[in-house]
């Protein structure tokens, strides 16, 4: 399995920290967040990852290099203008001649996580899913991608950051298991998984499933969450 890490965001809510350091490279317990992510991927046998870059790209490249010191092979895609989460995946596929030639995991780069990737992958394969979303609980649906699933875990509704939502408290956690055929559903140009691609897949009856994550995951995107990440990482075994 390969990985795609979304690392292009500016992290405006964490300024001034992100004025000189991209959010995915902010230190967590003395190590860049992406170093934690790569270590987590390596524990599950992932050895190749692609990252999209935009804000302060040289900081990411300098900090991670070719990935060899993490026992990974890394490649990068710089976006002068943001292409969106899905558009970024399509660009990597074009730049690196079918990089996504096998099942791959998509991870949002502002996540500190230690979830059970094998558990999510097994569910994905059992359901013969095109795209499987890790799910979490939230009490702030207006700021999340909100999801409804049936008893088998098939996604029946997905709304990105709805103004109103009466479908429960299940949200997109920002980790996807995908098959290469998913790239066929991404048009040229800018597009987003949450706003564009997942709703389109559902309209077309594609096999999109969701499973509650097993393990730990924290979006560090606010000052309070970033502070909590420091505490959690320091206490981790």
Domains of the chain by range and CATH? 2-134+174-185+198-205+215-235 (3.90.550.10)
Q: What is the mean pLDDT of residues 11-21?
A: 87
**Measuring CA to CA, which residue among 53, 52, 59, 54 is closest to residue 17?**
59
- Asked if residue 12 has pLDDT above 90, the reply is no
- How would you classify residue 168: left for phi > 0, otherwise alpha for psi between -120 and 50, otherwise beta? left
Q: At a CB cut-off of 8 Å and minimum separation 6, what does 196 contact? A: 84, 86
pLDDT score of 217: 97
- pTM for this prediction: 0.94
Burial of 61 (0-12, 13-18, 19+ CB in 10 A): middle
How many other C-beta atoms are found inside a 10 Å radius of the C-beta of residue 131? 23
Residue 85, helix vs strand vs coil = helix
DSSP conformation class of 70: G
Encode pLDDT of 97-146 as tens digits. Answer: 889 999 999 999 999 999 999 999 999 999 999 999 999 999 999 988 99
| Least trusted range by pLDDT, from 97-106, 163-172, 184-193 | 163-172
pLDDT score of 235: 86
Alpha-carbon distance of 78 to 74, in angstroms, equals 13
Encode pLDDT of 82-97 as tens digits. Answer: 999 999 999 999 999 8
C-alpha distances (whole Å) from 180 to each of 33, 97, 106, 225 are: 27, 13, 12, 33
Q: How confident is the model at residue 14 (pLDDT cuts 50, 70, 90)?
A: confident
pLDDT score of 127: 97
Helix count and strand count (H, E) for the chain: 6, 13
Q: How confident is the model at residue 56 (pLDDT cuts 50, 70, 90)?
A: very high
pLDDT score of 11: 80
- Asked if residue 212 has pLDDT above 90, the reply is yes
**Measuring CA to CA, which residue among 104, 90, 100 is closest to residue 175?**
104
Q: How confident is the model at residue 151 (pLDDT cuts 50, 70, 90)?
A: very high
Of how many residues is the chain composed?
237
Could you write out the three-class secondary structure of 110-148? CEEEEECHHHHHHHHHHCCCCEEEEEEECCCHHHCEEEE
pLDDT score of 25: 96
pLDDT score of 203: 97
pLDDT score of 177: 98
Alpha-carbon distance of 202 to 155, in angstroms, equals 8
Q: Is 162 in contact with 125 (CB distance < 8 Å)?
A: no
pLDDT score of 166: 82
Q: How confident is the model at residue 236 (pLDDT cuts 50, 70, 90)?
A: confident
């Amino acid at each position: 399995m390969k990985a795609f890490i979304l690392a292009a965001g500016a992290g405006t809510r964490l300024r001034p920290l992100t004025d000189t350091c991209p959010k995915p490279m902010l230190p967590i317990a003395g190590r860049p967040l992406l170093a934690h992510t790569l270590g987590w991927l390596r524990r599950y046998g992932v050895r190749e990852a692609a990252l999209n870059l935009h804000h302060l790209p040289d900081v990411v490249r300098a900090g991670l290099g070719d990935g060899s010191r993490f026992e990974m092979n890394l490649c990068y895609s710089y976006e002068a203008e943001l292409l969106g989460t899905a558009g970024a995946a399509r660009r990597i596929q074009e730049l690196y001649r079918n990089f996504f030639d096998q099942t791959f995991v998509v991870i949002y780069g502002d996540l500190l996580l230690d979830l059970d990737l094998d558990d999510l992958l097994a569910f994905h394969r059992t359901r013969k899913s095109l795209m499987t979303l890790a799910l979490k609980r939230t009490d702030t649906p207006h700021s999340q991608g909100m999801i409804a699933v049936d008893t088998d875990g098939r996604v029946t509704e997905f709304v990105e950051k709805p103004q109103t939502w009466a479908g429960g408290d299940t949200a997109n956690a920002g980790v996807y298991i995908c098959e290469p055929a998913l790239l066929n559903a991404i048009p040229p140009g800018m597009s987003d998984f949450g706003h564009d691609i997942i709703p389109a897949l559902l309209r077309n009856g594609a096999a999109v499933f969701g499973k509650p994550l097993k393990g730990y995951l924290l979006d560090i995107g606010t000052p309070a969450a970033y502070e909590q990440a420091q505490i959690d990482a320091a206490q981790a075994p």
